[in-house]
Amino acid sequence: MKVAFLLAPEGVEQIELTDPWQAAADAGHTLRLVSTRPGRVQAFHHLDKADTFGVDQVVADARVDEYGALVLPGGVANPDALRTDEKAVAFARGFFDAGKPVAAICHAPWTLVEADVLRGRTLTSWPSLRTDIRNAGGRWVDEQVTVCRGGPSTLVTSRRPDDLKAFCEAFLDEFAAYADRAGSAGS
C-alpha cells in the first residue's frame, strides 16, 4: 500500500519519522515523503538539527486517492507549521473523509485539531496537547498507543519516542486491515 508521511519543511523529530518509515518499508509499503515545500526536510533530535530527507511530493500536488494511509510524525515545530498550511490540513482531513487510516505521534495531533477530525474520538499525544484535543471534541487518554476505530477512518496515536515500537506495531496492523478491506494494496 502507498503511504504518505506528511511533514513541514523543518521541525520533525527525526526518530518519529525514521522508525515508522523503516517499519512501514519493512512491511512492504511504498512510502512517499509529502511536504509543504519541495527540496529537503530538516529533522531534529529534540532541539538540535539532525539529518535532512528528500521530499517526494509537494502537498499542493498530492491527492488522497493516491494513498492508502497517512502517517503524521511529531516534533513540536513540525505539526505547528502544518496546522497553519491550508493544503496540509485539507490533505490530512481528506484521509478521514475517505475512511483511510491515519497514524499520529507526539505533537502531530495538532494538525488533526486544525482539521477538525477529532470530535468524538479517543486518542493520546504528548501531554501538553491534552487541552487542545479536548477543546476539539476529542477524549484524551494517557496511554502508550491508542487505536480509535470510531467513524469511517481508524486513528492510531501515541505519546512519545519511547512508545514507537507499540505505535509502529499498531499502525501496521491497522494499515494491513484496511488494505484487506479495500481489496487492493494500491488504494
**88-107 per-position pLDDT tens digit:** 999 999 999 999 999 999 99
pLDDT value of residue 183:
80
pLDDT value of residue 185:
41
pLDDT value of residue 150:
77
Q: Domains along the chain?
A: 2-182 (3.40.50.880)
DSSP category for residue 60? G
DSSP result, 107-169: TTHHHHHHHT--TT-EE---GGGHHHHHHTT-EE---SEEEE--SSS-EEEE-SGGGHHHHHH
Confidence of residue 152 (pLDDT cuts 50, 70, 90): confident
CA nearest to 84, candidates 60, 128, 114, 112: 114
What's the pTM value of the predicted model, to 2 decimals?
A: 0.96
Which residue has 494538525 as its cell numbers? 111
pLDDT at 186 over 50: no
pLDDT value of residue 142:
98
Crossing angle (nearest 10°) for helices 14-26 and 164-182: 40
Cβ(95)–Cβ(70) below 8 Å: yes
Residues tagged active-site: 107
Reported as a single tens digit per residue, the pLDDT across 6-56 is 999 999 999 999 999 999 999 999 999 999 999 999 999 999 999 999 999
How large a percentage of the chain has pLDDT more than 90? 95
Reported as a single tens digit per residue, the pLDDT across 48-66 is 999 999 999 999 999 999 9
Cβ(42)–Cβ(15) below 8 Å: no
Quick one: average pLDDT of 155-174?
A: 98
Half-sphere exposure for 27 (CA within 13 Å, toward CB): 23
Which residue has 509502529 as its cell numbers? 168
Half-sphere exposure for 90 (CA within 13 Å, toward CB): 9
